[in-house]
Amino acid sequence: MAAPLKDADLVSVQQARDLAARAREAQRELAGFTQEQVDRIVEALAAAVGREAERLARLAHQETGFGNVADKTRKTLFASVELAESLRGLRTVGVLREDPQLGLVEMAEPMGVVAAIIPCTNPTSTAAFKAIISIKARNACVLSPHPAARESILETARVMREAAVGAGLPADALSCMDAVTLEGTQELMRCRSTSVILATGGIGLVRAAYASGKPAYGVGPGNVPVYLDRSADVPRAVRDVVAGKTFDHGTLCSSEQALVCDAPVEAQALEQLKRNGAWLLDEREAAAVAQVVVTPQRLANPDIVGRSAVFIAEKAGLRVPPETRVLVARLTGVGREHPLSIEKLCPVLAFYVVRDWREGLERCRELLRFGGTGHSAGIHAGDETLIREFARAQPAFRIVANTQTSMGATGATTHLAPSMSLGCGAWAGNITSDNITPLHLLHLKRLAFPRRVAGAAPAPAREVAATLAVAAADEPGLDFVAAAEVEKALREGRKLRLRPGAIVTPSARDAAAGSDVLVPASR
């Protein structure tokens, strides 16, 4: 008999293989579910997380020390209850689109098993988000937690799995590794049973996902600049910037990193920053904060990520009022010589002054190119022409106007697709520039009929199914049946006779369930 595994890395690798293999078998069953079954599971899962959102957020905060309970609760509700609400009515099963003029039918097919890598900065919200979008597309999902947030992610997974299985999900279609090592995560990403990877984490993790040989959705760093124009409602704009920058102590990659201020409104902006809990650092204080916040490699110091402004000030040897929400440092340039111009993931905000909107646009471009290409940028202005010019000029794929970028880029305060994974496009080495949704986790199968012969008389106007060569009821039998034809036959009380090998779309089978509308041609 083989000796039991003792090394943590070997145990983790074996667990990754086992969970992925079982998930593959469960997904084959899940692939046959109807839209109604899938939606029932998603609703049950989201509701369960919603009920436990505060407890899970508290657990995450206690385990990691990042952020605060109130904002983590808000994120978890957004990534569960609000996400599920936004997905209601979205079809991910059967026929998604039919074009009778072109003779095309598009059908949804799940990818298979999703390897979902969960970070420590947003553990409960990202776990819920990735599980929901995976299952909505009829994929199985295996979660791999960051070691620093292992317990809170495991508990989130337990809550989700219990509710989902109770609603009909195959038990192994949602699981979470508890033997967590780097080697185990790498094996999950590259093992035979895994189909696609959702990677959220540092640059090293995202590169490992791309190197795994599997399709992967990774994300890039943020370093989000925000331009404040003289035409803006300055009090509202500053209130939004501070709210976004301090949300969960800056742990979102879409949080504001630099405020680029038009010179005519500089004094007003500084006054509003003070009113909203900012401490304006002098040159000596800014240098001390930079020593604490940024490593010599010009990366964010993990010891201050997601910590409060007061905590960071104390680490820098400064005394600030206890109500301080954000530390603001004046900068004059971008790059390695200006360490606070990087993405900081904490409530420290760079502040620039520019002469006009042209200089403001260029400063924002510099900041994005230094560490946030393809991600997000913000603008506060009353001039819509300027807003559009700003959007056109920035090397970012999400331009958020007149609201905070932190939750605006995720879709919480805008009509962008709700998401906790924000693609940065080929500019940043990502496969997509989209907010990731269930539609990114399914394939489209296309059924195509011949083009109309040139010069032939046009076919008479018919319903979709008839246009796609579905024969009339008095013909010997049908080669193809879509949902529209089944629904019509049910209304008219007649049967549809099928020839051997006839294609019946999944949505047509759903429409025919419980009836005898579909019969062999011989009857």
Q: Convert the pLDDT of each residue in 257-300 to its tens digit.
A: 999 999 999 999 999 999 999 999 999 999 999 999 999 988 89
Q: Which CATH superfamily is domain 224-417 in?
A: Aldehyde Dehydrogenase; Chain A, domain 2 (3.40.309.10)
Q: Is 191 a catalytic residue?
A: no
- Number of Cβ atoms within 10 Å of the Cβ of 338: 17
Q: Secondary structure of 496-510 in the HEC alphabet? A: EEEEEEEEECHHHHH
Q: Are 214 and 197 in contact (CB under 8 A)?
A: yes
Question: Which member of 176, 253, 364, 424 is catalytic?
Answer: 253
In the predicted model, is pLDDT for residue 461 greater than 50?
no
Q: What value does the mean pLDDT of the chain take? A: 92
**How far apart (Å, rounded) are the C-alpha atoms in residues 229 and 464?**
51
pLDDT at 24 over 50: yes
- Asked whether the beta carbons of 245 and 347 are under 8 A apart, the reply is yes
Residue 515's alpha-carbon distances to 26, 93, 474, 477, 496, in angstroms, are 28, 20, 20, 18, 11
Q: How many CB atoms lie within 10 A of CB 166?
A: 12
φ/ψ (deg, to 5) at 163: -70, -40
Q: Is the pLDDT of residue 522 over 90?
A: no
Q: Which fold has domain 23-218+438-443?
A: Aldehyde Dehydrogenase; Chain A, domain 1 (3.40.605)
Q: How confident is the model at residue 456 (pLDDT cuts 50, 70, 90)?
A: low
List beta partners, residue 520.
Answer: 498
Q: What is the pLDDT of residue 202?
A: 78
Compute the distance between CA of residue 348 and CA of residue 141 in angstroms, rounded to an integer.
36
Measure the CA–CA gap between 49 and 83, rounded to whole angstroms. 11
C-alpha distance from residue 192 to each of 117, 181, 442, 481 (Å): 17, 19, 19, 36
**pLDDT tens digits for 367-412?**
999 999 999 999 999 999 999 999 999 999 999 999 999 999 999 9
The tens digit of pLDDT for each residue in 324-343 reads: 999 999 999 999 999 999 99
Predicted confidence band of residue 505 (pLDDT cuts 50, 70, 90): confident
Res. 144: pLDDT tops 90: yes
Domain ranges of the chain: 23-218+438-443, 224-417, 459-520
Bigger pLDDT: 48 or 484?
48
Confidence grade of residue 493 (pLDDT, cut at 50, 70, 90): confident
pLDDT at 426 over 90: yes
Residue range 431-441: average pLDDT? 96
| pLDDT for 435 | 97
Q: What is the DSSP letter of 247?
A: G
Would you place residue 219 in the very low, low, confident or very high pLDDT band (cuts 50, 70, 90)? confident
Cite the DSSP H helix spans in 213-356. 234-246, 266-275, 283-293, 309-315
Amino acid type, 302? P
Question: Would you state the structure tokens that stand for residue 308, as one six-digit string?
Answer: 């409060």
pTM: 0.84
Residue bearing tokens 């020593």: 291
Alpha-carbon dihedral sign for residues 242, 244, 246, 251: negative
Which of helix, strand or coil describes residue 352?
A: strand
Over residues 129-158, mean pLDDT: 97
Q: Identify the CA nearest to 52 among candidates 192, 134, 193, 159.
A: 159
Cβ-contact 217, 423 below 8 angstroms = yes
For residue 28, give Cα distances in angstroms to 39, 59, 375. 17, 34, 35
- Rounded CA-CA distance 505/481 in Å is 6
User: Minimal CA–CA distance to 401: which of 232, 250, 263?
Assistant: 232
Length of the chain: 523
What is the average per-residue pLDDT within 72-77?
Answer: 98
What tens digit of pLDDT does each residue of 151-193 get? 999 999 999 999 999 999 999 999 999 999 999 999 999 999 9
State the pLDDT at residue 514: 81
Residues 111-121 have pLDDT tens digits of: 999 999 999 99
Torsion angle (degrees, nearest 10) of CA 40, 45, 47, 51? 160
Could you give the CA distance from residue 26 to residue 23 in angstroms, rounded to a whole number?
A: 5
- Higher-pLDDT residue of 207, 294: 294
Confidence of residue 455 (pLDDT cuts 50, 70, 90): low
